[in-house]
């Protein structure tokens, strides 16, 4: 089974040319220079990778931990 944080970190590293060690669960997306539009892009990839659907009212997130929690909850709810 895909590790949520590792997968998310890989997406962020690839898309935004960040160093993996700079990305922790506590990292604020803003501090990684990831804006709300970029977040939609990350969620789009996560949806594909994890086979989940994220609705519009669930995308208010601030940290990497928020994204991981959201994905984990939806994976559990949606059986992915």
Partner 1 sequence: MPARRVVVTGAGILSPVGNDRETFFSTLMAGQSGIRRLESAFVDALDTRIAAWIPDFDPLAHMSRSKAGAMDRVTQFAVVASQQAIADAGLDLEMMDRERVGVYLGTGMGGSSSIEEGYVRLYRDNASRLKPFTVLMAMNNAAGSQVALEFGLTGPDLTFCTACSSSAVAIGEAARQIRHGYADVMLAGGSEALLTYGTIKAWEALRTLANEDADNPSASCKPFSADRSGLVLGEGAAMVVLEDMESALARGARIYAEIIGYGSSNDSSHITQPSVEGQARAMRRALADAGITADQLDYINAHGTGTKLNDVTETAAIKQVCGSAIPVSSTKSMHGHLMGAAGAVEFVACLMALEKQALPPTAHLVQPDPECDLDYIPNIGRENVRVNTVMSNSFAFGGTCGVLIARKP
**Minimum CB distance to partner 1 smaller for 30 or for 44:** 44
Catalytic-residue membership of 35: yes
Please, how many CA atoms are within 13 Å of residue 31, restricted to the half-sphere of its CB?
10
The residue from 3, 22, 35, 38 that is catalytic is: 35
Question: Under 8 Å CB-to-CB from 9, ≥6 apart: which residues?
Answer: 20, 23, 64
**Minimum CB distance to partner 1 smaller for 1 or for 37:** 37
Q: Which residues bind partner 1 (CB under 8 A)?
A: 14-17, 37-38, 40-41, 44, 47
List, by residue number, the catalytic residues.
35
């Amino acid at each position: 089974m895909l590790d949520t944080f590792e997968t998310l970190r890989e997406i962020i590293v690839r898309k935004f040319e960040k160093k993996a060690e700079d990305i922790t669960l506590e990292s604020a997306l803003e501090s990684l220079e990831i804006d709300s539009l970029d977040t939609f892009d990350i969620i789009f990839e996560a949806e594909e990778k994890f086979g989940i659907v994220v609705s519009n009212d669930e995308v208010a997130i601030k940290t990497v931990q928020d994204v991981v929690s959201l994905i984990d909850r939806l994976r559990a709810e949606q059986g992915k």
